[in-house]
């Protein structure tokens, strides 16, 4: 006689997602929270279960309730409690393949003008892309290697970049499953909402337009009451000046949609090769690039309006342009 084997506790969540067209359903926010709690705990989920769960979620795509539950569990797992005040949380996980990461200059311009920016991301999970940490190295900016170092950098320079590896190693390992799976997973979505320093404002970029509203509503469920999400160039948090940009936001607990117009009539050709050293040369005024300038000013303008530094798009655009005109040209001296 064979012995009955008790069902694994995590099987509950796989069954909910995998019962077929008529039997399956999305997780509730609490179920998503409990599932991610188990995933991030030691030894509570088998590798085969994790793979099945992530791919079932990938096929159906995350709801805002699921995303909020995942993020809440992930934030509870952080082994730190920083007291450093941050104005703007900026996620950077996609990497660039068509154009340089001009948004980095947007964040540094904001930091130069008193906005405390914390950027987090992960690189290397998709071939052929230039990731933020590599671009920062080309600018001579050292990425932090711990939350405490990130806090010190923010206090000293109003800017810090920290890899997900040093925030939540298990999520970092999961995001790097992409080459093995061949697909992104819910982790690529939830990490954008982590906001480790509890910044008062958050900026997020996505690639697939349908995810804008999911991020927007998940932020509302997470009580992130001042956030903006846009379909960024390449999936990064970066306004593409060649096309109309829909920004979906949460402002004082209310959902808002706002269209920022295209800044050019014709699209620019993609760069033949991404050379991050050009970012410093551009900042110093040694080379010009109308696409790059419009991108960094346009991206900074969206952030300035979110931060309440400007009341209208025109005011935000003008303020960002003034910041750029008055930038410290010696910042990236050789």
pLDDT(269) > 90: no
Q: What is the pLDDT of residue 127?
A: 66
The CA distance from 306 to 229, in Å, is 11
Q: What is the pLDDT of residue 156?
A: 96
The CA distance from 89 to 118, in Å, is 5
DSSP letters, 186-234, are HHHHHGGG--TT--SEEEEEESSTTHHHHHHHHHHHTT--EEEEEE-GG
pLDDT, tens digit, for every residue of 170-224?
A: 999 999 888 888 778 889 899 999 999 999 999 999 888 888 899 999 999 999 9
Determine the average pLDDT of the residues in 307-312: 96
Q: What is the pLDDT of residue 125?
A: 60
Q: What is the pLDDT of residue 67?
A: 96
Q: 3-state DSSP helix/strand/coil percent for the chain, to nearest 5?
A: 45, 15, 40
- For residues 304 and 319, the answer to whether their CB atoms sit within 8 Å is yes
Residue scoring higher pLDDT (59 or 308): 308
Q: Which domains does the chain have, with CATH numbers?
A: 11-77 (1.20.970.10), 88-325 (3.40.1030.10)
SS3 label, residue 158: coil
Dihedral sign, CA of 242, 296, 212, 248? Answer: negative
> How much of the chain exceeds pLDDT 70, in percent?
97
Q: What is the pLDDT of residue 3?
A: 64
pLDDT, tens digit, for every residue of 88-135?
A: 999 999 888 888 999 999 999 999 999 999 999 997 666 678 899 999
Q: How confident is the model at residue 271 (pLDDT cuts 50, 70, 90)?
A: confident
The CA distance from 227 to 219, in Å, is 7
Antiparallel, parallel or unpaired: β 226-231 and 245-251: antiparallel
Residue scoring higher pLDDT (41 or 334): 41
Among residues 303, 302, 233, 235, the alpha carbon closest in space to that of 271 is found at: 233
DSSP letters, 65-132, are HHHHHHHHHHHHH-S-------SEEEEE-S-BSSS--THHHHHHHHHHTT--EEEEE--SSSTT-B-H
pLDDT(1) > 60: no
The CA distance from 318 to 327, in Å, is 14
| Mean pLDDT over each residue of the chain, to the nearest integer | 91
pLDDT, tens digit, for every residue of 19-59?
A: 877 888 999 999 999 999 999 998 899 999 999 999 999 98
Among residues 291, 286, 230, the alpha carbon closest in space to that of 100 is found at: 291
pLDDT(69) > 70: yes
Average the pLDDT over each of 73-82, 216-225, 253-262 and give the range with the smallest value: 73-82
The CA distance from 130 to 141, in Å, is 16
């Amino acid at each position: 006689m064979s012995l009955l084997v008790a069902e694994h506790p995590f099987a509950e969540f796989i069954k909910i997602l995998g019962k077929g067209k008529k039997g399956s359903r999305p997780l509730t926010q609490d179920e998503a929270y409990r599932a991610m709690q188990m995933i991030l705990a030691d030894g509570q989920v088998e590798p085969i279960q994790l793979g099945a769960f992530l791919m079932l979620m990938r096929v159906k795509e995350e709801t805002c309730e699921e995303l909020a539950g995942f993020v809440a569990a992930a934030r509870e797992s952080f082994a730190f409690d920083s007291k450093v005040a941050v104005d703007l949380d900026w996620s950077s996980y996609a990497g660039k393949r068509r154009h340089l990461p001009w948004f980095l200059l947007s964040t540094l311009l904001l930091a130069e003008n008193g906005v405390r920016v914390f950027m987090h991301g992960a690189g290397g999970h998709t071939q052929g892309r230039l990731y933020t940490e590599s671009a920062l190295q080309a600018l001579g900016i050292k990425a932090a290697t711990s939350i405490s170092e990130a806090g010190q950098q923010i206090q000293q320079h109003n800017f810090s970049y920290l890899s997900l590896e040093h925030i939540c190693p298990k999520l970092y390992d999961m995001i790097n499953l992409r080459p093995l799976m061949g697909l992104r997973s819910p982790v690529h979505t939830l990490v954008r909402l982590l906001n480790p320093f509890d910044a008062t404002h958050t900026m997020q970029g996505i690639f697939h337009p349908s995810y804008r509203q999911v991020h927007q509503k998940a932020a509302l469920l997470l009580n992130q009451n001042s956030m903006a999400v846009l379909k960024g160039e390449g999936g990064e948090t970066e306004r593409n000046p060649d096309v109309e940009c829909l920004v979906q936001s949460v402002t004082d607990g209310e959902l808002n949609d706002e269209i920022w117009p295209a800044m050019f009539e014709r699209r620019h050709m993609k760069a033949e090769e991404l050379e991050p050293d050009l970012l410093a040369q551009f900042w110093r005024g040694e080379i010009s690039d109308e696409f790059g300038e419009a991108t960094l000013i346009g991206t900074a303008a969206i952030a300035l309006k979110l931060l309440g530094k400007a009341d209208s798009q025109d005011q935000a655009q003008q303020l960002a342009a003034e910041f750029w005109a008055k930038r410290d040209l010696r910042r990236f001296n050789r």
